[in-house]
Copies of this chain bind each other. A is one copy, B any other.
Amino acid sequence: MKIHNFSAGPSILTQEVLLKASEAVLDYNNDGLSLLEISHRSKAFVDIMEKARSLALELLGLEGKGYKALFLQGGASTQFLMVALNLLEKKAAYLNTGTWSDKAIKEAKMHDDIIEVASSKDAGYSYIPKGFEIPSDYDYFHCTSNNTIFGTQMKSFPDSPIPVACDMSSDIFSRSLDFTKFDLIYAGAQKNMGPAGTTLVVVKEDILGKVSRKIPSMMDYKVHISKGSMFNTPPVFPIYTSMLTLEWLKNLGGIKAIEEINEMKARVMYSEIDLNPLFKGYANKEDRSNMNATFTLVNEDLKETFETMLKEAGISGLNGHRSVGGYRASMYNALPLDSVKALVEVMSELETKA
């Protein structure tokens, strides 16, 4: 049975990427060795790393604009810390739109003064605050472009008088934006870019080197940049698989092309949520995420029937995060429109039955 994989992360990758990645584990480039057992200093791997780094910049339209791309370890959670260590001299401004923003704030607070310019915490993070001011005397502004757990997404970004750092873990490479508005972008690979185990950081070099603290080597963006993202042994396989995914996206037509498909998927999904009286969306309509659609059953009595039907249709990974409950359909780049259609079909079938 074909599985429709709505997992929130780690999440679906295309079959073409999985095939190549699987082959590389046995034999890379027919040279008799697995990709896993060759030196990261070999030409074979250095080429992979450089290709991944340049594809990331190219897809974001940031080539030749003073940005560097890094593939690091530690997950987006380590970026919560690295952003503060590298950019925070006195105080920083954070927008609190979800669990991940909140954790980013917590890690940064350890180092210095943080203000929350706005927060939707009291409303269960069901919307994106707007109309707030970003103070010009702060070191940087931090936001989360897509809130994986709650299913909200920033549709526009405020003009900022200070550098902007953005956690794009769950919507990187999914939509066109003017990425030059951001000075630092980071994203764990395991949603739109690859398997778990590497984190993309794209940083404008001229914002670095301005804090007075000594930064430990592994935490220092400048160190990683100076070593071409190879200060120490990089996570070879996660980076290779991410590179394959970026290549796939480029061949598809890049962000513009995937954006259209993503918008289509989201339209199909949210129409069903809205039109079907059995379901209710969680997030504020205008802030709905094109990546993670969160919704609940109006009548909890239908839970068992619905979940049996989901299972029979091969729909997997639909459980909502424990802090929201209900369901979450994660519709990342690699999820085909057909999978959304399969889900919507089950939902409307339930309506017929009920």
A110 proximal to B (CB < 8 A): yes
Distance (Å) between the CB of A7 and the closest chain B CB? 5
| CB contact under 8 A between A39 and B317, given known A18-B34, A107-B217 | yes
Distance (Å) between the CB of A101 and the closest chain B CB? 15
Q: Report how many copies the assembly holds.
A: 2
CA distance A195 to B110 in the complex (A): 33
| CB contact under 8 A between A22 and B18, given known A10-B36, A197-B237 | no
By a CB distance below 8 angstroms, the chain B residues around A74 are: 73-74, 78, 218
Q: Which of B2, B78, B231 contacts A218 (CB 8 A)?
A: B78
A32 proximal to B (CB < 8 A): yes
By a CB distance below 8 angstroms, the chain B residues around A39 are: 7-10, 317
Q: Which of B25, B110, B190 contacts A25 (CB 8 A)?
A: B25
Distance (Å) between the CB of A240 and the closest chain B CB? 10
A238 proximal to B (CB < 8 A): yes
By a CB distance below 8 angstroms, the chain B residues around A32 are: 1-3, 314
CA distance A40 to B218 in the complex (A): 25
CA distance A2 to B31 in the complex (A): 10
In this complex, the member of A36, A40, A77 whose beta carbon has the largest number of chain B beta carbons within 10 angstroms is A36
A143 proximal to B (CB < 8 A): no
A236 proximal to B (CB < 8 A): yes
| CB contact under 8 A between A219 and B81, given known A74-B74, A232-B75 | yes
Closest residue to A7 on the B side, CB-wise? B39
Q: Which of B37, B106, B218, B233 contacts A12 (CB 8 A)?
A: B37
By a CB distance below 8 angstroms, the chain B residues around A275 are: none
A228 proximal to B (CB < 8 A): no
By a CB distance below 8 angstroms, the chain B residues around A174 are: none
A343 proximal to B (CB < 8 A): no
A316 proximal to B (CB < 8 A): yes
A144 proximal to B (CB < 8 A): no
A70 proximal to B (CB < 8 A): no
Q: Are A36 and B9 in contact (CB under 8 A)?
A: no
In this complex, the member of A7, A10, A80, A231 whose beta carbon has the largest number of chain B beta carbons within 10 angstroms is A10
A188 proximal to B (CB < 8 A): yes
**Further pairs besides A2-B32, A73-B78, A74-B218: 9, Cβ < 8 Å:** A7-B37, A10-B233, A13-B36, A36-B195, A77-B217, A77-B218, A78-B218, A196-B236, A197-B237
17 contacts between A and B (CB under 8 A): A8-B39, A10-B39, A18-B25, A18-B36, A22-B25, A32-B314, A36-B194, A73-B235, A75-B218, A75-B233, A77-B231, A77-B232, A81-B217, A110-B216, A190-B233, A195-B236, A197-B235
Partner-B contacts on A (CB < 8 A): 1-3, 5, 7-13, 18-19, 21-23, 25-26, 31-34, 36-40, 73-78, 80-81, 103, 106-107, 110, 188, 190, 194-198, 214, 216-219, 231-238, 241, 314, 316-317
